[in-house]
Structures are given as structure tokens and as C-alpha cells.
Structure 1
Amino acid sequence: MVEKNAVPWHPRLAAAESDMSVLVPLLEMNSKPSVLFTKRSIHLKSHRGEVCFPGGRMEKEESVEEAALRETHEEIGVEPKSVEVWGRLKPVLTRTLTNTVVPVVGCIDKEVLKPDSVQTLFSVSLDELCQTARYTHFSSKSVDYILPVFFSKEFTVHSHNQEEFLPSEFRIWGLSAIMLHQLLCIMAAEKYKDTLKLPFY
């Protein structure tokens, strides 16, 4: 069962302000705490086909949480009132290293998900994510990074665009993987604590 007290108000849940935010949606599937992801369309200009969390740029005078909830509603149809916001994770640098994205952790009920969403939506249990964590090497501006990457063959599809290819295994990497790493360090510390050790996260 997904319980709010499983995510205490940890220092990592107090982030600095940013002009972008995403929602890291938690839900219960088959009696297991799980995380909801979206798969971007292969027809988009940027980050095509990547697994990510719903979110985007904040509007004027909008809070981090308000932006994450608004973008989630626009992208996957989940209304803000259907999300119980639990807190924030540490801001994550974008690929350009010029900005940060604040992950907002929130809990939703699987019943609010729309099966006819234009987005491909799927969820993976925390147990599966802990077991499939790996490393990947990334280079940017002559600097090498070791970042987490997750693979999942055990997932639940909530919505799928029939025009898009549905893989037998999802790969979660980049900013989403860093955010997921932070979440697992808090919510599944006993199972995940020795899997990956990254600086700053």
C-alpha cells in the first residue's frame, strides 16, 4: 500500500525554486507501491520516445506544485484535485546544465487514469525498479558522469497510443532516472540503499 508516511519530510524533499517542474506520480497497483511514467511520442521534435514524468515550464506567479499539477492535467488528464502532493525532491540539472527541474512527489488513484489518453502511460512497482537499477555513462562538455538507468519488463499499461510502438521492456534514464533514484533512496531505502551511490543525490 502507498502510504504518505513512507515519504517523510526529508531534506531532499525541500528544493530551491526553479522555472520547471514535473510530477512524480505514485499509485498502488496489485497491492504494490508503484510509479507512473509517460512515454513521449516518437513524432515529437525533442526527447522523442523517451520515458519521463509529466511536467514543464512554470507560468508567471505559479508555484512549483501548481505548475506540475497543471502540466499533468494537460498531458495525461489527471485533475489537480485528484493528486495528493507529498513534497519535493532535490532539483535536477537539465542536459544543458543551465537550468534545474524540481520533481514534485504526489499520490494518485489508478481510477483517475484515462485509458483513452493520447500518451502511453505505464506503471512499475518500486520492487521492480530496485531490482533493475544499473549504471550508464554520460558525457557532456568534456565531463563524464555515471548516472542511474532502470529497465523494466514487468509493468502495467494504463493507456497506449495505437500509433506508437509498445516495447517489451522500458528503459528509464536521464533526468527521470535521477529523480527516480532520489525517490527510491527515500521510499525504498532498505532495498535500494546499496544498489547505487551517486554524489549529490
Structure 2
Amino acid sequence: MSRLKARLAAALEPVEAWRADAAPGLGDHDLNPGYVPADQPLRPAAVLIPVVDRAEGPTLLLTRRSDSLASHTGQIAFPGGRLEPGETAVEAALREAFEEVGLPLGDVEPLGLSDSYRTVTGFVVTPVVAWVRPGFTPVLDPGEVADVFEAPFDWLMDSANHRRDVQTFDGHERTYWAMPWGERYIWGATAGMLRALSLRLHPERREDAA
């Protein structure tokens, strides 16, 4: 087991700790008090945060959503989606990763759960962090994914690369985390979940994280 793999396993919640009725942890509301309605119905979802064990250094596998989707078109995301009836977060994350990018189940080892994330669209997303063996060939579902790429894990976990950006949505000014990497603009819930994982790995930074 590599040092990073061991650190991740120690920092994350065990997969057995997941509960369908658990209250959401972090979310879009953290930087935007009052932006998310208190009585909003919540739907469970899960994403896979795939850490690829590259010899030259670990990477994170990310996707660019299809331009034909009804919402969040073209945004950077993790493989994932809503839970089907009877599914756990881990089962949903693995299923979605296989359906969206062809990630073989035999190459994926779930390590644990990061902080759940409530989105402004009414989802409570459970991030499932997994260790991925390199060598697989992505097979994209064109209806869901336009592109897949890998970004350096250490760069994404470095708080110096996290910034707060502001945009106006539906007449409301909204603040969100962003991590621009080259031509890729990683922002919103994806960036928020990455930042949460970074703080789990570096708890000494929490006092300066607000």
C-alpha cells in the first residue's frame, strides 16, 4: 500500500458508515448563506473520486459533461449521479463510473467516503474516494460525457490553488470554489468536494479554511 493510499484510507469515513438518511455536511450554502432553501427536498446522489496510481505521480480522473445535457453542460465533474432504489453510495458511484467512462470495477478499490455535499439543485452527493489501477482504456458515454482527463492530485490538494470566484445566477450573486488548471475550469460542487478532501488530508489547514 502506498503512503498516499494509506493516508486517504485513514482520513476518510469507512464505506460502511454511509446512511441514506444522513444529514448533509458541506455544500453550496457554506459560501452563500440563505441561497439554498431550508425546505428544499433532497435527493441522494454519489460521485466517484478516482485517484489513479500513476508511476509519475497520482492523478485524479475528471470528466467534462456533454454539451447535450439539459443542465450543467460542459462543466467539469466526477463520474456520478443519483442513486437508484436500493443502492448504496458506493454501488451508485461505481456503476456511474462504469457507465460514463467505462472504468472497470476490477481496477477500482473504494477507500472511503469524504464529506457529503449539498448542491443548490437539491442533491446530497456522497463522494466515494477510490484507488484506481492505471492501464484502463476510457469508453465514454457520449450522452453524458464529452471528454475525460487526469489532473495532478497534489496540485488539486494544494490550498494555494483554491480560490473563491463570484458569478451571478438567476439574478443572485453566488460565491463558489474554483481551481483553474490550464484550460480546465474546475468549479462549483466539484471544486467544493475537492477542497473538502484536501482539508481531510491536511486538517492543520482547517483554521485558515474559512
Query: Quick one: structure 1 residues 11 and 24, their matched pair in 2 at CA, closer, same or farther if it must change by over 3 Å?
Result: closer
5 Å-filtered alignment, 1:71-150, equals 71-96=96-121, 98-114=122-138, 117=140, 118=142, 119=145, 120-129=147-156, 130=158, 131-137=160-166, 146-150=175-179
Q: Contact conserved, 2:12 with 2:200, CA < 8 A, in 1?
A: no
Aligned-partner SS, 2:53: strand
Matched, 1:179 2:193: yes
Alpha-carbon distance in structure 1 between the residues aligned to 2:162 and 2:207: 7
Whole-angstrom CA distance in 1 between matches of 2:196 and 2:175: 15
Describe the SS at the equivalent of 2:20: coil
User: What's the secondary structure of 1:178's corresponding residue?
Assistant: helix
> Secondary structure of the equivalent of 1:47?
coil
**TM-score, structure 2 normalization:** 0.73
Q: How far is the alpha carbon of 1:64 from its aligned partner?
A: 0.8
1:92-132 C-alpha deviation (Å, 9 max, x unpaired): 11113x33111100011221132x53441111112322242
Letter of the structure 2 residue corresponding to residue 107 of structure 1: W
Aligned to 1:60: 85
Which residue type is aligned with residue 31 of structure 1?
E
Give the share of equivalent positions with the same residue, in percent: 28
SS, match of residue 111 in structure 1: coil
Q: Which runs of 5+ in 1 are unaligned?
A: 154-168
Q: TM-score, normalised by structure 1?
A: 0.76
Contact persistence 2:13–2:113 (CA under 8 A): yes
- Counterparts of 1:15 and 1:193 in 2: how far apart (Å)? 26
Letter in 2 for 1:39: R
Conserved? CA contact 1:2–1:26, under 8 Å: no
Read off the aligned partner of 1:67 and give its amino acid letter.
A
**RMSD value, Cα:** 2.9
Instruction: Structure 2: state its 5+ residue gaps.
Output: 22-43
Q: Aligned pair in 2 of structure 1 residues 137, 3: CA closer, same or farther (>3 Å)?
A: same
Greater RCO, CA 8 A, separation 6+: 2
Q: Deviations over 1:49-79 (max 9, x none)?
A: 1000001111111111001000110000012
- Give the count of matched residue pairs: 179
User: Residue 185 of structure 1: SS of its match in structure 2?
Assistant: helix
1:100 and 1:196, CA in 2 relative to 1: closer, same or farther beyond 3 A?
A: farther
